[in-house]
Amino acid sequence: MTRELFTSWALREAMAQEMRRDDRVILMGEDIAEYGGAFKVTEGLLGEFGPQRVINTPISENGFVGVAVGAALTGLRPIVEIMFMDFVTLAMDQIVNHAAKFHYIYGDGVTVPMVLRLPAGGGRGYGATHSQTLDSWFISVPGLKVVAPWSPADAKGLLTAAIRDDNPVIFIEHKLLYSVKGPVPEGEHVVEIGQANRVREGDDLSIIAYSKMVDEALEAAEALSEVGVQCDVIDLRTLQPLDDKAIVESAARTGRVILIEEGVRQGGVMAEVACRIMEGAFDYLEAPPVRLGGGFAPIPCAESLERSLMPSAADVIAVAQQILA
């Protein structure tokens, strides 16, 4: 049975259900207890689980992420909220050199089962240090898994899978998706990490996206369908590991691919996806894959300027017209 839930509610439900299921699951982060977090995702959890499991931290990302790594090493399963993804830069040593490496260094007896929830993305006028999408930073770090859901159902299912995973998981939540409502299964709902999702079927053009950019991909696909172009829209859902089979199969079937992400295009996630397509589907392509991504500039506060740096459905349509001509 499903109900309509906001993404923020779906995430909260996943955490609450896993905390009831496993008393090793704890929450950590700035203002997550009484205040419920900057985006109210943890609202109400303090009342049910108490201050020993819903823990307010000082404003010290390097410190409390380090505490979470230690907690994971000693048997707990911490979920850490970083207030804005931008602030994860302060904890990169603990994430990249500690959490991601300890299993490799110490062997099978040591795991680091922790989740870092990172509210990401622009669109709110928060400016250069509160609007970034730094997804590509993490996909090249062995030992980390990287997840970026689009739908409320996937938000619940993937967060549940991340909490149960014995590896550190970077869990990216686009701020503009918190208020999106959609059907979410009741009870236990798990979406396997590493599987992409075909959200629209078509044979003329593949559009591959993730997180908020799936909205732009679907809007473009709907507009293109009105002129007879049927798009295959793939939601990656997981950035590490990538679902090579789904990516290559779609590219090989349509022969034309547009890749869209909000993060900076240079060195982005879709640069890696484009390489995988060229390696796995080159002989089937009618045109080179085209990447759309964020502009190479700090993100401004002004709405019009911010919008100019972010890829849109109109950009997808314009590129589609060129490669289908």
Find residue 264's DSSP bridge partners. Answer: 294
- In terms of C-beta density within 10 A (0-12 exposed, 13-18 middle, 19 or more buried), how is residue 118 classed? buried
CA–CA separation, 6 and 173 (whole Å): 13
Kind of pairing, strands 238-240 and 145-147? antiparallel
CA–CA separation, 254 and 231 (whole Å): 8
Find residue 2's DSSP bridge partners. Answer: 185
CA–CA separation, 41 and 262 (whole Å): 22
CA–CA separation, 34 and 114 (whole Å): 22
CA–CA separation, 325 and 320 (whole Å): 8
Residues noted as catalytic? 61, 130
